[in-house]
Amino acid sequence: MTVADKKSISATGIGKRAGNRIPFSLDRKMAVPLSVQMADGLRAAIVSGFYRDGEVLPTIHEFARLLGTSVRIPREAITALASEGLLQPRRRIGCIVVGKGEPAWKGRILAVMPADREGGYHAVTLLGEMRRIFNSRGYLFDVVALPRHSNGVLDCSLLEMALRRNNDFAFSLFCPPHVMRLLERSGVPFTTKQSDPSADATAAPLGDLSPFLAQCRAADVRRVFVAGIADRQILGPLCEAICGAGMAVEQCAVRCDRGLGSLERLERMGMKMMQERFSRPRADWPQLVFWTDDFLAVGGLAGLSEMGVSIPRDVFAVTVANKGFAPVYPRSLSRFEFDPAATGRAAAGAILARIAGAAAPPVMDVVRYIPGDSFR
């Protein structure tokens, strides 16, 4: 170390060097990458107080020599901890344990979801709000996106690897039962959104249907056409509620994979569905169309417009939509509006309460019915 470096350390109040003390080891037989093992070991040592605030840890090259690895392994681990605010690498000096009164990193929250749902507006907004809250509270928030095998079943190998790390809590989004069973076996406490297909939901996925059903009664609606996606949980409970209110339901469900171009295919299916249904004699038309998917609604609205069917003069229209991402139409649409940001805040609050040992209600979608000009 040069004289200038020694002066720099003294001027910044950095404490003594840690020497060759490394309170962890790397297991090359584990599937977990060595850099991740090292990051977990360093993090645990810092949070537990083994390495104290201001202490100078070995340089990247010294870590590589002591652990018997290439310099890439400690470089990646130290970069990860520096991004968490736990370490401050100094050229030719070493890594400084950053003093903040209390560790910036309190634990890790793991979210798991299918990879083909990762880029959707609802998931991005919900998980983004959760990440913002957890990061502000000092928790790391990781998302594991599970790919599918050729037979469509989710591949859980990435989740199995992630569960070998220290996780305080897990959150499942849009995952089937076999993912829940894996989380149960891992022993990591977890919760899931109660309107997911994997959940044992006790409430309707659309929340309170009474304002919508009351509007149907006021408008003397007797025939409803419900257009939806076959594997969505919304479809069945909605049709049951409509039938239970004394209306006749005609249901049409499409199947669509979630690969590239799936949203465009949904819009085209929605257009074709409306064109076929409203090509029948006018006396056979339903009084109300209910789309349980906003992309089906986009195509359906275009199809009705192309046929000259007017909303709400010829037919009433209701859709499901996300807040801030509803289909654009000349008239305001009556809709069940999901608020993924509010759901993310509720989920984060429930998980933090559970970590603190308090009871917390199940995570439910935040959704409300908004009357619009399409159902007047």
Last residue of a domain, one of 147, 163, 192: 192
Are 314 and 217 in a shared domain? yes
Residue 369: the pLDDT is: 96
- pLDDT tens digits for range 243-268: 999 999 999 999 887 777 888 999 99
Residue 219: the pLDDT is: 96
Last residue of a domain, one of 50, 68, 97: 97
Helix (H) or strand (E) holding 59: none
Residue 10: the pLDDT is: 34
Number of domains observed in the structure of the chain:
3
pLDDT band at 285 (very low <50, low <70, confident <90, very high): very high
- pLDDT tens digits for range 40-63: 998 888 887 788 888 888 888 888
- pLDDT tens digits for range 139-185: 889 999 999 999 989 999 999 999 987 788 999 998 989 999 999 99
Are 157 and 256 in a shared domain? no
Tell me the CA distances in angstroms from 20 to 1, 24, 158, one per residue in order.
16, 12, 33
Residue 185: the pLDDT is: 93
Burial class (CB in 10 A: 0-12, 13-18, 19+), 143: middle
Domain region containing 27: 3-97
Query: Does position 135 have pLDDT exceeding 60, yes or no?
Result: yes
Last residue of a domain, one of 192, 226, 247: 192
Query: Does position 12 have pLDDT exceeding 70, yes or no?
Result: no
Residue 144: the pLDDT is: 95
Residue 92: the pLDDT is: 63
Of the chain, the percentage scoring pLDDT greater than 70 comes to: 89
CB atoms within 10 A of CB 253: 16
Are 308 and 281 in a shared domain? yes
230 in a structural domain: yes
Residue 120: the pLDDT is: 87
- Residue in 348, 322, 338 with CA at minimum distance from that of residue 191: 348
Give SS3 for 113.
strand
